[in-house]
């Protein structure tokens, strides 16, 4: 696998994910990055500017920038600056948020109008049992209403586990009733929920031996995304346990190293195997 040409993979990667901070207004028990209000690791905007400009030049296949965390809108000015940089480079822009700022319709519209003005194309809201310990579902309703009003695409990532008290049906009912929202305009995703505590293991979905479940699929995040973490390291993907596996840390994300750190993955048999068949089939093998 030596001397592999990036040109051979001109369709990859397609997404740049910026994990801007690990600071969050919430402290969900099973947060995959262990985000809390006490954490302060945050990317500097000037570093992100250099990285985005470099990546867009050397990876023309990138078409989307995703700004996530932690809570991206704790520092709205920094996040909107990254949105502007992405837009200037011709990228579709997306932010992921827990919706803490949407306490009422007015505050939601105020923030969303700023996002629209700076070029935001899509907003993803995270909610579910654990999120709602910190952010009420009414906040999400306000945010969805404001985003659709400003022609911003909306997706809601809903925590999914076997004991979920808040389901997709509950969410649809709430959105339709409270804001009279046309639910066909909202993409609701049953997010793969992963326990990070011993108590949470029993909540994993049961998988029948001959059935299919999303966890059995291949890992299509590998190679298709460039992910930069708050410690300025390039990660092999933005999957839930990625910070707990040193193997997926590709090294420091300086503009001199990003391209080399990405392309050397194609010399790694295990990563290729994960991309082609996925961890479940590897474990079975």
Question: pLDDT tens-digit profile of 111-121?
Answer: 999 999 999 99
pTM: predicted TM-score of the whole model, two decimal places: 0.88
Predicted confidence band at 191 (pLDDT cuts at 50, 70, 90)? confident
Mean pLDDT of 21-42: 91
Task: Give Cα separations from 150 to 65, 108, 142 (angstroms).
Answer: 20, 11, 13
- The pLDDT of residue 26 is above 70: yes
Strand order in the sheet with 15-21: 186-192, 153-160, 122-127, 92-97, 64-69, 15-21, 225-228, 233-235, 249-252
What digits encode the pLDDT tens for the residues 203-235?
A: 666 666 655 555 677 877 888 899 999 999 999
Residue 274: its H or E element: helix 269-276
Predicted confidence band at 1 (pLDDT cuts at 50, 70, 90)? very low
- The pLDDT of residue 65 is above 90: yes
Place of tokens 């586990």: 161
Place of tokens 């390291």: 233
Q: What is the pLDDT of residue 43?
A: 95
- Classify residue 23 by burial, with Cβ atoms within 10 Å: 0-12, 13-18, 19+: buried
Q: What is the pLDDT of residue 31?
A: 84
CATH homologous superfamily for the domain 6-284:
Aldolase class I (3.20.20.70)
Q: Are 199 and 215 in contact (CB under 8 A)?
A: no
Mean pLDDT of 102-130: 94
Predicted confidence band at 154 (pLDDT cuts at 50, 70, 90)? very high
The residue ranges of every structural domain in the chain are: 6-284
Max avg pLDDT among 138-147, 185-194, 231-240: 138-147
What digits encode the pLDDT tens for the residues 235-262?
A: 988 766 777 888 899 999 998 899 999 9
DSSP three-state, residue 249: strand
Q: What is the CA radius of gyration of the chain?
A: 19
Q: What is the pLDDT of residue 165?
A: 77
Q: What are phi and psi of 59, to 5 degrees?
A: -130, 75
- The pLDDT of residue 53 is above 60: yes
| CA dist., res. 6 & res. 17, Å (int) | 20
Q: Who's near 284: CB < 8 A, 6+ residues apart?
A: none
Residue 281: its H or E element: helix 279-284
**Cβ count near 57 (within 10 Å):** 12
Q: What is the pLDDT of residue 179?
A: 77
Q: What is the pLDDT of residue 199?
A: 65
Q: What is the pLDDT of residue 212?
A: 54
Q: What is the pLDDT of residue 214?
A: 57
């Amino acid at each position: 696998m030596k001397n592999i040409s990036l040109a051979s993979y001109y369709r990859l990667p397609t997404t740049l994910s910026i994990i801007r901070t690990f600071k969050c207004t919430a402290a969900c028990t099973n947060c995959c990055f262990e985000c809390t209000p006490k954490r302060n690791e945050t990317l500097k905007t000037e570093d992100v500017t250099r990285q985005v400009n470099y990546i867009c030049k050397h990876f023309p296949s990138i078409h989307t920038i995703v700004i996530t965390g932690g809570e991206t809108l704790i520092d709205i000015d920094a996040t909107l600056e990254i949105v502007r940089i992405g837009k200037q480079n011709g990228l579709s822009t997306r932010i992921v948020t827990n919706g803490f700022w949407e306490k009422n319709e007015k505050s939601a519209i105020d923030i969303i109008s700023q996002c629209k003005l700076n070029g935001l194309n899509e907003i993803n809201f995270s909610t579910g049992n654990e999120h709602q310990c910190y952010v009420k579902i009414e906040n999400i309703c306000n945010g969805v209403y404001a985003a659709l009003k400003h022609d911003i695409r909306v997706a809601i990532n809903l925590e999914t586990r076997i004991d979920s008290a808040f389901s997709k049906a509950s969410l649809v009912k709430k959105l339709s009733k409270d804001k009279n929202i046309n639910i066909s305009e909202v993409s609701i995703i049953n997010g793969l929920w992963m326990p990070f505590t011993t108590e949470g293991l029993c909540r994993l979905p049961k998988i029948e031996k001959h059935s299919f479940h999303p966890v059995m699929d291949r890992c299509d995040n590998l190679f298709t995304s460039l992910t930069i973490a708050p410690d300025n390291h390039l990660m092999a993907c933005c999957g839930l346990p990625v910070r707990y596996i040193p193997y997926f840390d590709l090294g420091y994300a300086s503009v001199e190293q990003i391209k080399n750190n990405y392309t050397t993955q194609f010399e790694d048999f295990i990563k290729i195997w994960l991309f082609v068949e996925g961890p479940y089939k590897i474990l079975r093998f």
